[in-house]
Amino acid sequence: MSNYLFSIIILINLIYPCDEGYIEINNLCFHENDISILQIMIDNSYESSIDLGCEDGDQYCGSPNPYHDSEEFWGWLLYDSISYENISNGNGIVEPLELGIQQWENGRLKALDCGAYIYCQLSGLIPEQINSLTELVHLRLEGNYLSGVIPETICQLDIDYDDYLIFDLRYNHLCPPYPDCININNEFWGQYDEECIEIGDINADSIFNILDVIQLIDLIVINEYSYNGDINQDGILSVLDIIQLVNIILDN
């Protein structure tokens, strides 16, 4: 190979260090979709505006936990068997690679530990697109403030759902119905579901009728999300939810 051609290859690698579909962060390549799912989880937490009773100056209180953005955070990221510590930049915003403890292989997310004793303090909805984490084999989200329903798409992951050391969603605020891949009858299952409302019962009066339809239309008009109004569980409120709610009322 000529020196000229070799120089061109080096220059291309410097300009385009990652394959198509991957993004360069801190001189490492990460799958764009995997990063985007982590970002959605972070965004859902910020947008939930959950009240955790935080006091001024409490660097550990918030959703997501602002401490994960601190340069003092003790978490780490494992990339192709190499451990990277102190990756937080302290810019005041929790970013995808700062969330919990992660394991990546060949630029794909293999494991996410954001459960008890890591205190990610996630809230809001679990992303419907979580099934696009096709290389994920380990997911721990127990002990957070996640709410709404668990998307059925979570059952499409390549995970041992019966091993709570590998897969754990316990002790959030997640509401039924729960996907079939999750065994809610074992001794380890539990949710803080006291405030859960049956899907479709928009006004929480335990009756499905035209009043629920009217309130659902109001939510759509003002662009406000409600998990029990998201009849088809696609993460948005739309006319499709109205159609399904009408069918529920007609069937009752």
Asked if 62 and 144 sit in the same domain, the reply is yes
Q: Tell me how far apart the alpha carbons of residues 115 and 92 are, in angstroms, rounded to a whole number.
A: 22
117 and 234 in a single domain? The answer is no
On whether both 148 and 129 belong to a single domain, the answer is: yes
Q: Are residues 206 and 223 in the same domain?
A: yes
Task: For residue 242, count CB atoms less than 10 angstroms from its CB and return exposed for 0-12, middle for 13-18, buried for 19 or more.
Answer: middle
Residue count of the chain: 252
Pair 68, 149 in one domain: yes
Domain boundary among 180, 196, 212: 196
Give the domain CATH number at 232: 1.10.1330.10
Is the confidence at residue 110, as pLDDT, over 50?
Answer: yes
| Domains in the chain, number | 2
Residue 142: is its pLDDT beyond 50?
yes
Asked if residue 215 and residue 171 are part of one domain, the reply reads no
* Mean pLDDT value of segment 123-130: 94
Residues 178 and 214 in one domain: no
Instruction: Report the pLDDT averaged over residues 3-26.
Output: 64
Sorting pLDDT into bands at 50, 70 and 90, what band is 163?
very high
Are the C-beta atoms of 70 and 59 separated by less than 8 Å?
A: yes
pLDDT tops 60 at residue 13? no
Average pLDDT over residues 153-171: 95
Same domain, 244 and 163: no
**Which pLDDT value is given to residue 15?**
53
* E strand or H helix at 220: helix 210-221
Rounded CA separation 115/180 (Å): 22
Q: What Å distances lie between residue 131 and 97, 126, 243, CA to CA?
A: 19, 11, 26
What does the block give as tokens for 201? 């019962």
**In the structure, what pLDDT confidence band is assigned to residue 212 with cuts at 50, 70 and 90?**
confident
Q: Which domain holds residue 235?
A: 197-252
Residue type for position 188: F
pLDDT for the residue numbered 111: 98
The letter for the amino acid at 233 is Q
pTM over 0.95: no
pLDDT at 201: 81
Q: Which two tokens stand for residue 120?
A: 């990610």
Instruction: For the beta carbon of residue 247, count every other beta carbon within 10 angstroms.
Output: 12
Residue 84: band (very low, low, confident or very high) from pLDDT cuts 50, 70, 90: very high
Mean predicted confidence (pLDDT) in 168-186: 91
pLDDT class for 1, splitting at 50, 70, 90?
A: very low
* Summary mean pLDDT of the chain: 88
The CA distance from 141 to 112, in Å, is 8
Give yes or no: residues 116 and 23 share one domain.
Answer: yes
Residue 16 has what pLDDT?
53
User: Could you give the percent of the chain with pLDDT greater than 90?
Assistant: 57
Residues 155 and 212 in one domain: no
Residues 185 and 68 in one domain: yes
Residues 22 and 147 in one domain: yes
